[in-house]
Chain A
Amino acid sequence: MPVWLKAIVQSRAVWPVLALVLILIVAGSVSPNFFEIRIVEGRLFGNLIDILYRAVPTALVALGMAVVIGTRGIDLSVGSIIAIVGAVIVWRIKMGDPHITILFSALAAGILCGMWNGFLVSALRIQPIIATLILMVAGRGIGMLINQLYGGTDPSFESALLQWMSTGSIWLIPTRLILAAGIFLALWLLIRRTALGLFIESVGGNAAASNLAGVKAGLIIFVAYVLSGLLSAWAGVIMTADTHTSDPVSVALYIELDAILAVVIGGGSLAGGRIYLGMTVIGALVIQALTTATLISGLPPEYNLIIKALVVLSVLFLQSANARKAIGSLVSRRAS
């Protein structure tokens, strides 16, 4: 194998990107118009745009998840946070707040949820998976409760600002894509242009060594959960504005699983210690492309779940040392 080929094969970017390309090619071969992009009502339309468009909420949540996983943690409560954020939006709209205030209230709700998780993990030192389970169980109930603050009979709403942010467009490009790109950039700057990323990765990689090197591990972990809460809140704003309603019971069901999956597909290890923001977005796109491709190929949308499961299992299998060894010895036995 030539050196350059080896370098490509060993690069962690290659498999997820290859998977994405492969899915697109398969989808393109099934549906001839797959790559077509049209302009309808002053906005770009087409399958590729649709994949980007629909991947935004998952990608946002996954970015927060990537940061938390970087600290060797996990955040199961993201779906519940989205439910709470949706309920807060509708509640404040019914109360007649200015819509820009509502946006900030929604984000504040997400931050508050993140602070709760961060408190449990960093101050009470509860295992992340257990700590965030609490909000995961209670969060949707809290959302339903907030819905009752205004009677809860009609949770639908109209908001020009929020809907513009979610489903509108600037020139030809959907607003949510532009905003998501802005958030990604901001997060990237925060992680890579301050020392936060280094600290998160060092705490996730070796908390004891980080402490001895002078890093405030507890604070770093806390901040990671707050970031995850904030990003989930943004996803919540987009999803709520998209459906014009607050539905705490079923909104963003299983989104935590998709988000974790996106991080894992993007090469992040649940053992922590590394944050790959760009690859996480690729991971989210892979998941969405799978869904879209399943739909287009005429398979019932439900098959998507099975395909996803098989993808997770094969990714995990390829990552496992034991399985690699077994495959390696099988291959070399063949070769000899």
Chain B
Amino acid sequence: MSKKYLPLVATIAVFLALFLVGGSMYRNFLSTLVLGNILADNAFIIIAAIGATFVILSGGIDLSIGSMIGFVGVCMAVLDRMGWHPLATAAVMICFGILYGALQGFIIDYCDIQPFIVTLAGLFLLRGLCFMVTLDSVPIRHDFVDLYASAKIPLPGRGVLRSSAIVMLAALALAIFIAHFTRFGNNVYAIGGDKESARLMGVNVRRTTIGIYAIGGFYSALAGVVYALYTSSGYPLAGSTLELSAIAAVVLGGTLLTGGVGMVAGTLFGGMILGLISTLIIFHGSLNSAWIMISSGVLLFAFIVLHRFLVSSFDLRGTS
């Protein structure tokens, strides 16, 4: 087995271990019901994290994720009040997300500025736009929301796959296809592995960078749509600091923050680990959300150190 799969294996191992720990502590934990709920409750984070995976694979970072989720949410809600069909709004918002991401990617490559700073400005801008749209929490009342909430596919056992989870899995399939079966995906890995080499090997770095952040924008906007439909409301503060969870999910999913190594599928498990932790803590009752943050921090630390030593000991950066 190639060493580069080691982080992914570690991710799945951690996921299974947490799941078994939960099973040994609580009677009803090891069930498709819990699994289905975790998938549905964390669908928007995982969707956003899938987009972030592309960005991080290329050696970049996208801080505008949380604000995008909030902005899409308030737009969905306000346009709903104006009588738009949620699906029409969703289509418009997703197009907006793609364009916004592409713009960020263009600025990053053209001005040669760290992605961190550009997407930070992106974060401010979108959050500000949220407040321009509305300052209140606005409900989404369209019938489609009820349809969305009730649609489900039964799983073996008592569990069900809710619409959010279905959308998430479809988004994941699309991402796996893009990342692993297109030239674009191949280029993403190359830029993350070594941007200068990639350029010398003939990869169009600007076009690819724009594409990467456009994909990031697409997935954050999609996450915003799912979040809005899931909570059936839009709130201008929604999604604050969600970019951190998304980045954490990507890292826990075995993608190196330095870029170039990782798999999109890992992000699903990374997001599920975060979901499992909160579920476990909620099951426990006496623990609170402090432990969610601390345990994600500790796991993050463990994975970052693991990656650090993988890179240096297995010489993934080459011998020349």
A residues lining the B interface (CB < 8 Å): 74, 124-127, 129-131, 133-145, 148, 248, 253, 257, 260-261, 264, 270, 300, 302-310, 312-313, 316-317, 319-323
Contact = CB atoms under 8 A, between A and B. Distances in A.
A142 B112 contact: no
Interface in B105-121: 107, 110-114, 116-118, 120-121
Interface string B93-110: 000000000000001001
Given A308-B124, A309-B124, A316-B117, A141 B135 contact: no
Given A148-B290, A302-B135, 20 more contacts: A74-B116, A124-B308, A125-B308, A137-B296, A137-B297, A138-B301, A142-B290, A144-B289, A144-B293, A145-B290, A270-B116, A302-B236, A305-B124, A309-B124, A316-B113, A316-B121, A320-B111, A321-B112, A322-B110, A323-B110
B125 interface: yes
8 contacts: A137-B293, A144-B293, A270-B117, A302-B130, A302-B131, A302-B236, A309-B122, A313-B118
Contacts of A133: 244, 247, 300
B113 A320 contact: yes
B124 A306 contact: yes
Contacts of B129: 306
Q: Helix, strand, loop or mixed for chain B's interface? A: helix
B132 interface: yes
A318 to B, nearest CB: 10
A305 B127 contact: yes
Given A309-B125, A320-B112, A253 B300 contact: no
Contacts of B120: 257, 260-261, 312
Given A137-B248, A306-B124, A124 B305 contact: yes
Interface of B: 61, 107, 110-114, 116-118, 120-125, 127-132, 135, 236, 240-241, 244, 247-248, 257-258, 288-294, 296-298, 300-301, 304-305, 308
B304 A135 contact: no
A300 to B, nearest CB: 6
A265 to B, nearest CB: 12
A69 B135 CA distance: 35
A144, A253, A305, A322 — which one has the most chain B CB atoms within 10 A of its CB?
A305
Contact of B131 (A127, A300, A309): A300
Nearest to A323: B111
Given A142-B290, A322-B112, A303 B305 contact: no
B56 to A, nearest CB: 10
Contacts of A307: 128
A260 B110 contact: no
Given A300-B135, A322-B111, A322-B112, A316 B118 contact: yes
Given A129-B61, A134-B301, A309-B124, A141 B117 contact: no
B116 A129 contact: yes
Contact of A304 (B122, B128, B289, B296): B128
Given A125-B308, A260-B117, A270-B114, A130 B257 contact: yes
B297 A138 contact: yes
A124 B308 CA distance: 8
B294 A142 contact: yes
A141 B294 contact: yes
B128 A303 contact: yes
Contacts of A300: 131, 135
A221 B118 CA distance: 25
A138 B293 CA distance: 5
Contacts of B61: 129
A138 B124 contact: no
A264 B132 contact: no
Given A253-B240, A316-B117, A316-B121, A134 B304 contact: yes
Contacts of A127: 257-258
A248 B257 CA distance: 27
A253 B123 CA distance: 13
A253 B113 CA distance: 24
A276 to B, nearest CB: 17
A141 B125 contact: no
Contacts of A124: 305, 308
B293 A140 contact: yes
Given A300-B131, A302-B131, A305-B131, A257 B110 contact: no
A74 B305 CA distance: 18
A305 B294 CA distance: 29
